[in-house]
A and B are shown apart, each in its own frame.
Chain A
Amino acid sequence: MLRFARSLVLGLLLGAIFGLYLGWIQFPSQTRNRNMRDMSQRYRDDYTVMIAAGYALARDLEGAIERLQRLETGDVGDHVQDRTERVIRTSARSLDDIRLLVRLANDMGRLTPAMEPFWDLSGGDP
């Protein structure tokens, strides 16, 4: 009996671990039910830049904040500041994108020394 139970438990345990690995890591489900917070860094940056571009167009800070809140990153100001500084540091995006982000960060009161060169670049209106 003990022999049976031992084999059963061990088999189930190893099988379940392997099944979880297959289902979550190797062959994750391709469902379309994920949230913006689940997006990879690249796409979250992309979305932030798109919203910054929209902000440059309409100057609707409230709307921009509402849209960025969909990323569920906590404080939207922190998010914009972090993204902008990271993008500047890593040169991950074009100069135009950086200027859009800097404009949004500035209008959110998040202009930091790292951003100032881009803000000054075009007389305070990137």
Chain B
Amino acid sequence: MTSQVSGISKNDERALGYFSYSVFALSLVAGIALGLSLTRMQGPLRRGNAEPWQLNADDRSHYAIAIALEYAHSGDLATALNKLIALRPAQDPIDALADAACSLAGSGYLRSGGGITAVRSAVALYSAQGRSGCAERLLPLDATDTASAVADEGESDAEIARPQPTKPPLLAGDEEQSVQRVAATPVPLRRFEARAARSFCDTANPALIELHVVDYLGRGIPGQRIRVRFGDQEDVFLSGLKVDRGDSYADFQMEEGIDYAIDMPGAAEALGASLSTGACYSGSRRTLKSWRVTFVET
């Protein structure tokens, strides 16, 4: 009986064919969709065929700085512009270079003399095109020798505007690294006023002092020194170093049971009251209170 059924089944299969074209067509479409989805999720194959415009933002910034370095050496403005345009920035290519220099300058790139030279090259290039950015504010006041070298070697028909320093050196060590050839004109120090110290409760960021340094229009100002004093210790740090949080941002981690006084050395008086953390509740979750302090340029 069994063999008879199986025999019938095989006969049926033969009659219908070994293949269902409708199922095949549907699964083919599903397979194509699956394959395409995988390629989009996985990203392109690593085939060594990427062009500079396809680089991620960080690498594109470094590439743009390399273009500026080459320009500083060769003075070939046309080539530099063509390469910047080839990066296909969303905005004006020179503005994009200014942004790249700004983001690198705010991320520890200026720790080395080479980094300073590289950013100066970028500043020289975009300044020559009548643009400005935050990088020139972050550059140390000294090292005019390097800036001159950039200008001297890179000067072409176009006039290169030398970046004017606008603030004191970020690091004490930088001042000693280079020889001053030209006395830089000090710009009057900016003055700030601490405003709007507000506490908030965030389970993701407990016991954090969020600091913002902004100008009178509310625009972030990177590279400003902020001091936190606690007990007999103090910590000085700069605004704008966490690039993803914007030019104005800096933060400091608090501990329970300690009072913190905040000021901007030589630029702003200490906040009226010291800050401390304690328990707070976000929904039903217990965490530690954080503070948000804004220094506004006066």
Contact = CB atoms under 8 A, between A and B. Distances in A.
30 contacts: A3-B18, A3-B20, A7-B24, A10-B27, A14-B31, A16-B31, A17-B31, A18-B28, A18-B35, A19-B34, A19-B37, A23-B40, A24-B44, A31-B43, A31-B54, A34-B43, A34-B44, A34-B54, A40-B48, A43-B50, A43-B52, A50-B69, A54-B73, A54-B114, A57-B153, A58-B114, A58-B149, A67-B62, A70-B62, A100-B73
B121 interface: yes
B99 interface: no
B118 interface: yes
A54 B59 contact: no
Most chain B CB inside 10 Å of its own CB: which residue of A12, A15, A31, A49: A15
A22 B35 contact: yes
A15 B32 CA distance: 4
A87 B73 CA distance: 20
Given A19-B39, A53-B74, A13 B44 contact: no
B53 interface: yes
Nearest to B62: A70
B63 A47 contact: yes
List the 10 closest pairs (A to B, CB-CB), nearest first.
A15-B31, A19-B35, A63-B114, A23-B39, A11-B27, A60-B114, A54-B69, A53-B73, A50-B66, A7-B23
B33 A19 contact: yes
Contacts of A20: 35-36, 38-39
A57 B117 contact: yes
Interface residues of A, number: 56
A2, A29, A62 — most chain B CB neighbours (10 Å): A29
Contact of A4 (B23, B29, B40, B55): B23
Contacts of B31: 11-19
Interface string B61-72: 011001101101
Contacts of A29: 39-40, 43-44
Nearest to A30: B54
Contacts of A13: 31
Interface of B: 13, 16-21, 23-40, 43-57, 59-60, 62-63, 66-67, 69-70, 72-74, 83, 112-115, 117-118, 121, 146, 149-150, 153
Contacts of A91: none
Interface string A26-51: 00111111111111110100110111
Interface of A: 2-4, 6-24, 28-41, 43, 46-47, 49-51, 53-54, 56-58, 60, 62-64, 66-67, 70, 96, 100
A10 B20 CA distance: 11
A7 B29 CA distance: 12
Given A2-B13, A54-B117, A62-B112, A36 B63 contact: yes
Nearest to A60: B114
Nearest to B66: A50
Nearest to B154: A57
A7 B21 contact: yes
Contact of B30 (A11, A24, A47, A57): A11
A78 B205 CA distance: 45
Given A23-B35, A29-B40, A38 B26 contact: no
- Of A30, A36, A37, the most chain B CB neighbours within 10 A belong to A36
Contacts of B121: 54, 57
Nearest to B17: A3
B38 A15 contact: no
Nearest to B67: A50
B56 A34 contact: yes
A11 B30 CA distance: 8
Contacts of A66: 112, 114
Given A8-B24, A63-B115, 7 more contacts: A3-B13, A3-B17, A10-B19, A15-B30, A23-B38, A38-B47, A57-B121
